[in-house]
Amino acid sequence: MYNSDTPLQAELPTSKQLVKSTILAGIAAVVLLFTVVLPAEYGIDPTGIGSVLQLTEMGQVKQQLADEAAADAAGLLATDTMTSETPNIDGVTEQAMSATPADTAIASGEWRDETPFTLTPGEGIEIKMKMDSGAKTEYSWVVTGGEVNFDTHGDALGKAISYEKGRGVAADEGVLEAAFTGNHGWFWRNRGDSDVEVILRTRGDYSSIKTM
C-alpha cells in the first residue's frame, strides 16, 4: 500500500548530487580554514583576508599569550624545585635579599630592594618574593627603551594565582597582597625589536626576593 509520507524515488538525491554536495562542503571548509580559522587562532594569514577582517591581530595576541603562559608554567615548575639560595649553573648565587624590616622601610619612604635587568628581544624573566598569606608589598617598575608584556602572579605547592596581566606596558606600580603563603611576583617578556632596561623597586612584607 502506498504511504503518502514516503518520499518518491525521484525526490531522493542521486549519488552524483551527494558527491557534488560533499565536494562543495569540503571546499567551503578549506576556504574557512584559510580565511578565518588560521588568522583568528594562529595569526597566520595566507590570503590577506584575515587582516581585512581584523582577525590576524587577534590570532597573534592569542599566540603571544599562549607562549607567555607556557613560559610562566615553566617558571612555576622551577620554583617548586629550587631553594631560595641555590647557586645557578654558572655558579652565581641567585638574588636572595632580606634587608631592613618592612615597616621601617615603608615608614622611611625608602625602597627596600632595587632590581635592574635587561631584556633582549623575545627574552623573558621572572622575579619572585617569598610572602606569607595576607602580606603586602609595595612595588614600582619602569621600562626604558620600549615596552613589555607582564603577568603578576603567585604560586605555592598545589596553588597558583594570576593577579594582573598586561601587553605593551612601560611602567606599573601598586600593592601586591599575597593570596596565600608562597612565591609572588612578576614575569616580563620583551616583544619589541630592541633591548629594554627594566628597574623593579619593592618594599614590604617579604622575606626574600630572587630572580628565577
Residues 49 and 97 in one domain: no
pLDDT of residue 103: 45
Q: Are 109 and 184 part of one and the same domain? A: yes
How many Cα atoms within 13 Å fall on the side-chain side of residue 78? 16
* Rounded-to-integer distance, Cα 45 and Cα 135, Å: 47
What digits encode the pLDDT tens for the residues 145-175?
999 999 999 999 988 999 999 999 999 999 9
The parent domain of residue 46 ranges over 14-54
Tell me the whole-structure pTM to 2 decimals: 0.51
139 occurs within a structural domain: yes
What confidence tens digit (pLDDT) does each residue in 106-134 have?
444 689 999 999 999 999 999 999 999 99
Express each pLDDT in 9-64 by its tens digit: 556 677 777 778 788 877 877 777 777 666 667 777 777 776 666 666 666 666 66
Q: Which residue has the higher pLDDT, 25 or 90?
A: 25
pLDDT band at 70 (very low <50, low <70, confident <90, very high): low
The verdict on residue 69 lying in a domain is no
Look at residue 106 and tell me if it is in a domain.
Answer: yes
**Distance from C-alpha of 198 to C-alpha of 97, rounded to nearest angstrom:** 19
For residue 146, the domain's CATH number is 2.60.120.680
Q: What is the DSSP letter of 28?
A: H
106 and 170 assigned to the same domain: yes
Helix (H, G, I), strand (E, B) or coil at 100: coil
CB-based contacts of 178, cutoff 8 Å, min separation 6? 131, 132, 133, 134, 135, 136, 137, 154, 184
Is position 66 within any domain?
A: no
Residue 151 lies in a domain: yes
Residue 144 has pLDDT above 60, yes or no: yes
Q: Is residue 62 part of a domain?
A: no
Residue 185 has pLDDT above 70, yes or no: yes
Q: Structural domain tally of the chain? A: 2
46 and 99 co-located in one domain? no
User: Where does the pLDDT of residue 209 fall: very low under 50, low under 70, confident under 90, or very high at 90 and above?
Assistant: very high
Is 165 a member of any domain? yes
pLDDT bucket at 105, cuts 50 / 70 / 90 = very low
Same domain, 164 and 94: yes
